[in-house]
Structure 1
Amino acid sequence: MVPIQARMQKVAAGLVAAAVIALLLDWYSPSGPQQPLPHARSFAPEPAPGAEENNLFWLVQVSDLHISKFRDPGRAPDFEKFCTETIDVIQPALVLVTGDLTDAKTKDNIGSDQVEVEWQTYQTILKRSKVMEKTKWIDIKGNHDAFNIPSLDSVKNYYRKYSAWRKDGSFHYIHHTSFGKYSFICADATLIPGPKRPYNFFGILNASQMEELLSLAAESHDSNHTIWLGHYPTSTIISPSPGIRMVMRSATAYLCGHLHTLGGLMPVLHAQHHHGTLELELGDWKDNRKFRILAFDHDLFSFADLDFETWPVVLVTNPKPLLYSSSAHEPLQRILNSTHIRILAFSPSPIKFVKVSIDGIHLGDALHVSGPLYVLQWSPQSYSQGFHQINVTVQDASDKSTTQLHTFAMEENLSLKFGFFPSWLLLADLYIWARVAFALVVIIQIAFLIIFRYLGRPALKGHPTRAMQASLSLHILSKTNLFYYFFLLLSLYTVLGPWFIGEIIDGHMGACFSFGVIVDGHFFQGSITFLVGILQVMFFNIPLMAYLCWCLFLRCQGNCFGSHLHNVKQYHAVPVHLAMALLFSWQIYSCFFLLQTYGAMAFFLSPLRTWIVGLTLFLVYRSWTMNSSTLKTFIVQIKNNQSS
């Protein structure tokens, strides 16, 4: 009976886990027909893409420039070359720069401050390249552009002085064409006042800012398309109900940066909201020299993420990729009604040929119409069922070539899914996940302390197993008042804080808690603070408790600090001490970071950083020297067990 019940429990647990995973995959990898919008635009099947250069325009996005006085001297010259040569070749109608125009880090790469010469360098590049005379240049703020700014009126708000746009806050820009108008809405979620790093990694929108964005969204309902842009991905924006994604649900796409491809771990960070809006994070200019070209061709939206100075640039606008299609926002039936495949090809050198094949069958060379547009006549009805792959190869006069391929389909019931991890990173509310994880790790630590505090002392018989040793060591620590109350108070203090008190902004006092940051009378609710708290608990609080459990257990076995390396196998003891020393060094570095970033006051008024260093040394000392009655009882019990 018992084995059957155990199997049933395992099966039930497996089914629950499978259901949870399936729900996560479905929620974070949406596909299929999108939900209808309350203000959905109605598109006629005509005009359909043909052989003429009409109903077409394109734009460029670049993000996370991080123009720096102290690092990567090639960053600014490369960007100037981008503004002259690359923009001259592509000739976009607009350029969108989605934040972090400057680096705003101190020379030691630890502190943060607005460096005026970085802003002057950025403005000089715009003026010297005359790029603002060639195209509409829209640059918005990122979190680095708001580091250490006490107010929008501060002289340190160099964005107002040196950027091209120069206007703080969210806005709505309309691009007019002969075939309609296109809305570009900026969602400015940067924090004002702007704390020093790292406590403005998440953006925040308050209720009045959300009302403003709702008003801007309403203004765009009669546009052919609406593109939203911001620095922060929606997963790193804290916003009140109904939430930022709901406000932008009528948008074709949301363009952002900020995550820098997660250091190369996620080179492509794209996802789709449940209302059909694409969220397209762009890799950084800072280290990867990325930029993006986007196009509206007969109101079909397409884009390509590109590397600087990689030519030729190719963008197939018809037929567009199925993965990035949205029936809620685009007239996808125009693909089936089209007469020509349409391709944009850019290069500093003349284009030699544009070869097109579908499903491995060569259809011919596309013909040049004008500018970057190349077309090839086709019969879309031949591809009206199932999935198909188009392959376009472009070669220029310098014998450089680029191949672009993607999957397309015209049946409404067909769809493709975005990857789970990129979708989760962009569509999850990361601050909520961090809050839950932080609460769990703290609760687990407190639960272990309390449970072993009030559990009866275990009876030892024979040589204890590793599990029994671990259990006994937790009993010893939890039943010793000094250690029990220390770790209980440490866990509670990690939650309730304050972690430190100091100049969150130069000249402006504040306090940092797990649940948020208070500075100059403003409260920013917890976000990155939860991640910092998780690191503190997982990489110091819990390891320190485990280390002291181990030390106390060795004491109860009759060892002292000077002799235990001889009595305990060194290959086991030395790595434990080294691991704890490494984590202790990390804690000391955290104190140094606090000193360099927030000043001497924050260093001295930091119970969770500075004070804990001294308390740790005291606790380690006491674990090897104290002679409490509880400890003596365990020593006698273990000795009696060893002698028997």
Structure 2
Amino acid sequence: MAFPPSGLSSTAAMANLIVFLICLSSRTSNNLAFYFEGVSVAEAETVSREVFPMDGDLAWVVQISDLHISAYHPERADDLVRLLAPALRVVRPALLLVTGDITDAKNRRRTSSRQDESEWIQYKNSMDAVVKHSGIEKRRIFDIQGNHDKYGVPFVGSSLDFFSTHSISSQFNRLGTIQSISLEGGDRKYLFLGIDDTMSVGIRGPSNLFGHPTDERIAAAVTELKTLDEHLKSSVTKLVFGHFPMSFTASSAQGERYETAFAKQSISAYICGHLHATFGKQLWRLHTVSFPSDSMKPKRATQFWEWELGDWKDYRFIRILAIDQGEVSFLDLELNPSEKFQSSMLITYPTDSRINNRAVDHDKHLRNDINVLVFSVQEMVNVTAKIFDSRRDFCLVEEITMQPAPNYSINKPLFHAKWNPENYRSVSAHRYWLQVFAFDSEGEMITSIRRPFSVEGRAAHFSPTWLAYLIFYLQWENIYSILLWSNICFLVLLLSLPKLLTHLMKRNASYQNWAASTEGRNLLFNVFWFLIEGSRNTKLWAAMVTFLLYLLMFPWFWGRATSEDGEISEMYLSGWRMEASTDGGTLGVPDLMTITLPFMYFVVTPLFLAVYGLSAEMSAICLRLSRTTERSDLQALLVSGQNGAHLGWHVEKTRSLVCKRLRGWSWALLLICAVIVCSHSKLASGTMSAYGTRPVALSPAVSLVPLLLLVAAVYSMMTKSLRP
């Protein structure tokens, strides 16, 4: 099991974060039918159910995510057959879960998104070959959609909805938004609940980044989880899988969220994909949800883990997740394209204390077994568990020889040993560490990762890196609102405060004297100078006010929000407005953050500050020239109407003073303007590539107004400064 890196450099981490932000019918089994009699489930959210037998009380599954099968990168599909099939043949999981972003849906330059049926055909053919060469039953493969799989799909069942025709789920009529898979064995049941939270209307990228659950879907998921508890007498362990992390899942229309629902239903873990290995390796989030107390019941808190898997696209990651008598553990493997499947081990009990989420009752009898799954092509001839004490410099405490489980078979490569867990009671979840060593029939040794354990179920403290906390522990739906409206409030103050200051000092000559003096200038003076002088160009100030009001109330641009041949739709700050949408004007929020935040922070805000700076610099130049004797003499010559060589000499002298002045702050401001132009051009061209060149280019809010404002501000400064 690989844990997140301990840290990143601040510069690299911030760069990654910026790139990341800019650059994201049901079949009901007869065995379960009686469980759900009389259950009220929203008709709009269908549930597909499957039941499979389980041998004993230990089961394991394999998860893959973010395949991004691409017409331009056929090796991703080829490696499913070349790498995944042999791995499945060795691991022999009960289920294979494909958690979204099955296809890439991008053009060769990755500038626009569109569905490509050839990619879905690649996926279907590859998975058929995987089934053939791995021995896994196709019915045990469950795939759900990711945002890439929904790019440009205007509605379910449209001609571009290839998931409904080429996915594994479509072949078994599992096209509901919820897939319920139950593994039943002995007195235990393991439930895997898959949830498809892709947008109802598949907006094209980049404004398709978040999961969008509905109130009905959340209610249906809760009902499915709750019903098993009510109807099954055996112990149930529940896990949920989806594509989107919780931090990138929006709230429902009524403000409901999955975290509370999952905690109330006591799920063990939520597994997902979406953010790829660069960020996904750092997603180990323990959700703790507290429920209010009353006079009859004390306040209680429930926890569940959230784990994201790295992508198949670039790293060929797979996850083996096991449940041993309700205890969940997992192992992430990176399949090496140049090597055959490497022998691996997954300790299923005792679990890693760093991923514990519930403590064992101290008075309860402790489990006296050690279990490990060994996945290898070769036969294991010796398996040994070793326990180390971290307080004694990881001194070896005990060696325990492990034997194949009584019902050992090639389909269940379980090794088992008995021990005395009472010897390892400790108040510290980090004290005792477990590692397993094995030798195969060819004499090659394999080892598991050394990891801490707690027989009492104590949880070890886990500290995420600051970047992991920023991305995974904050709710980006709320962060988007904060970032957007704080920026808008700043711009409103920037436009209104100078006018208020000007009004207050309108009849006060002290400011004019103070501005004309060279004494007493400090930071406060410079701020006042910047605000007041920057807003004195009434025409430019009014243009900025009008531009901001337009951005708040009117469409930013028009474009083909879904397919390349789809209808032209309008994008407002409040969302996309489309005829096919039932969500009013909020479709695509907060997904719009990939468009609105870069535009507001890297174009609009710098633009307004640059216009103020150019106006203030113009006033500073005029003030400096008014102090020169040459300027005074020149004014006298102009008043007297004289001309000739003497007048020309004074004009050239004045212009030389201006040019000298322009070597300072003026050139810096012009450089800032050039940077703004480059940022605007890049953002505008990216938007045009995504939603159509012509409609976006003809939308003045994002294509023309910023450039016109900059040109007007620069022209005003240069002409007034050079005017005699």
Q: Residues 179-258 of structure 1 correspond to what in structure 2 (within 5 A)? A: 179-221=187-229, 222=232, 224-238=236-250, 239=252, 240-249=254-263, 250=265, 251-258=267-274
- Is residue 2:424 matched to residue 1:383? yes
Distance 1:80 1:334, change over 3 A: farther
Check the 8 A contact 2:343/2:446 in 1, yes or no.
yes
AA matched with 1:292: R
RMSD of equivalent CA atoms? 3.1
Which stretch of the first structure deviates more once superposed, 408-417 or 96-105? 408-417
Distance 1:486 1:325, change over 3 A: same
Matches of 1:546 and 1:314 in 2, distance apart?
A: 59
Structure 2 gaps of 5+ residues are 1-54, 289-301, 506-510, 626-653
Superimposed CA distance per residue, residues 226-285 of structure 1 (whole angstroms, 9 cap, x where no aligned partner): 111111112222223432222222211111111114xx2552201122221211111111
The alpha carbon displacement at 1:54 in A equals 4.2
1:639 alignment counterpart: none
Classify the secondary structure of the residue corresponding to 1:390: strand
The alpha carbon displacement at 1:210 in A equals 2.7
Q: Return the index of the structure with the highest Cα Rg.
A: 2
AA matched with 1:516: G
2:579 alignment counterpart: 520
Matches of 1:224 and 1:164 in 2, distance apart?
A: 27
Matches of 2:333 and 2:124 in 1, distance apart?
A: 24
Classify the secondary structure of the residue corresponding to 1:455: helix
Distance 1:476 1:374, change over 3 A: same
Give the TM-score taking structure 1 as reference length.
0.82
Which stretch of the first structure deviates more once superposed, 567-576 or 154-163? 567-576
- Is residue 2:489 matched to residue 1:443? yes
1:297 alignment counterpart: 324
Q: Residues 33-72 of structure 1 correspond to what in structure 2 (within 5 A)? A: 54-71=56-73
Check the 8 A contact 2:556/2:572 in 1, yes or no.
yes
Residue 284 of structure 2 is aligned with which of 270, 277, 283? 270
1:372 alignment counterpart: 413
Distance 1:201 1:174, change over 3 A: same
Which stretch of the first structure deviates more once superposed, 264-273 or 190-199? 264-273
Matches of 2:195 and 2:656 in 1, distance apart?
A: 63
The alpha carbon displacement at 1:343 in A equals 1.3
Q: Residues 60-459 of structure 1 correspond to what in structure 2 (within 5 A)? A: 60-71=62-73, 73-130=74-131, 134-135=136-137, 136-166=140-170, 167-221=175-229, 222=232, 224-238=236-250, 239=252, 240-249=254-263, 250=265, 251-261=267-277, 264-265=278-279, 267-274=281-288, 275-309=302-336, 311-327=342-358, 337-351=366-380, 353-355=382-384, 356-359=386-389, 360=394, 361=396, 363-364=398-399, 365-369=401-405, 370=408, 371-387=412-428, 388-394=432-438, 396=440, 397=442, 399=444, 401-411=446-456, 415-419=460-464, 421=466, 422=468, 425-456=471-502, 458=511, 459=514
2:690 alignment counterpart: 597
The alpha carbon displacement at 1:418 in A equals 4.7
Matches of 1:116 and 1:565 in 2, distance apart?
A: 63
Residue 555 of structure 1 is aligned with which of 618, 625, 630? 618
Structure 1 gaps of 5+ residues are 1-52, 637-644
Matches of 1:180 and 1:230 in 2, distance apart?
A: 23
Matches of 2:499 and 2:481 in 1, distance apart?
A: 27
The alpha carbon displacement at 1:576 in A equals 4.7
AA matched with 1:380: P
Classify the secondary structure of the residue corresponding to 1:255: strand
Give the TM-score taking structure 2 as reference length.
0.73
Superimposed CA distance per residue, residues 294-337 of structure 1 (whole angstroms, 9 cap, x where no aligned partner): 11112211112221147332211111122322228xx7879962
Classify the secondary structure of the residue corresponding to 1:337: coil
Matches of 1:63 and 1:89 in 2, distance apart?
A: 20
Which stretch of the first structure deviates more once superposed, 565-574 or 595-604? 565-574
The alpha carbon displacement at 1:566 in A equals 4.6
Classify the secondary structure of the residue corresponding to 2:592: helix
Matches of 1:399 and 1:486 in 2, distance apart?
A: 75
Check the 8 A contact 1:502/1:605 in 2, yes or no.
no
The alpha carbon displacement at 1:154 in A equals 0.6
The alpha carbon displacement at 1:469 in A equals 3.2
Distance 1:230 1:558, change over 3 A: same
Matches of 1:496 and 1:353 in 2, distance apart?
A: 72
Residue 518 of structure 2 is aligned with which of 439, 462, 470? 462
Distance 1:169 1:185, change over 3 A: same
Superimposed CA distance per residue, residues 423-453 of structure 1 (whole angstroms, 9 cap, x where no aligned partner): 5633533111111111011101211221122
Superimposed CA distance per residue, residues 448-496 of structure 1 (whole angstroms, 9 cap, x where no aligned partner): 2211222146423325346533431221122321222222233333333
Matches of 1:351 and 1:532 in 2, distance apart?
A: 55
AA matched with 1:517: W
Superimposed CA distance per residue, residues 517-546 of structure 1 (whole angstroms, 9 cap, x where no aligned partner): 222341315202245322222211121222
Same amino acid, percent of matched pairs: 23
2:681 alignment counterpart: 588
The alpha carbon displacement at 1:372 in A equals 2.5
Superimposed CA distance per residue, residues 379-404 of structure 1 (whole angstroms, 9 cap, x where no aligned partner): 11011122322233455547464441
AA matched with 2:704: W
Distance 1:584 1:336, change over 3 A: farther
Matches of 1:515 and 1:538 in 2, distance apart?
A: 17
Distance 1:358 1:438, change over 3 A: same
Classify the secondary structure of the residue corresponding to 2:168: coil
Residue 703 of structure 2 is aligned with which of 594, 603, 610? 610
Aligned length: 574
AA matched with 2:276: H
2:9 alignment counterpart: none
Check the 8 A contact 2:350/2:371 in 1, yes or no.
yes
AA matched with 2:427: G
Residue 716 of structure 2 is aligned with which of 623, 628, 640? 623
Check the 8 A contact 1:141/1:188 in 2, yes or no.
yes
1:546 alignment counterpart: 609
Distance 1:390 1:579, change over 3 A: farther
The alpha carbon displacement at 1:77 in A equals 1.9
Distance 1:201 1:565, change over 3 A: farther
Distance 1:366 1:213, change over 3 A: same
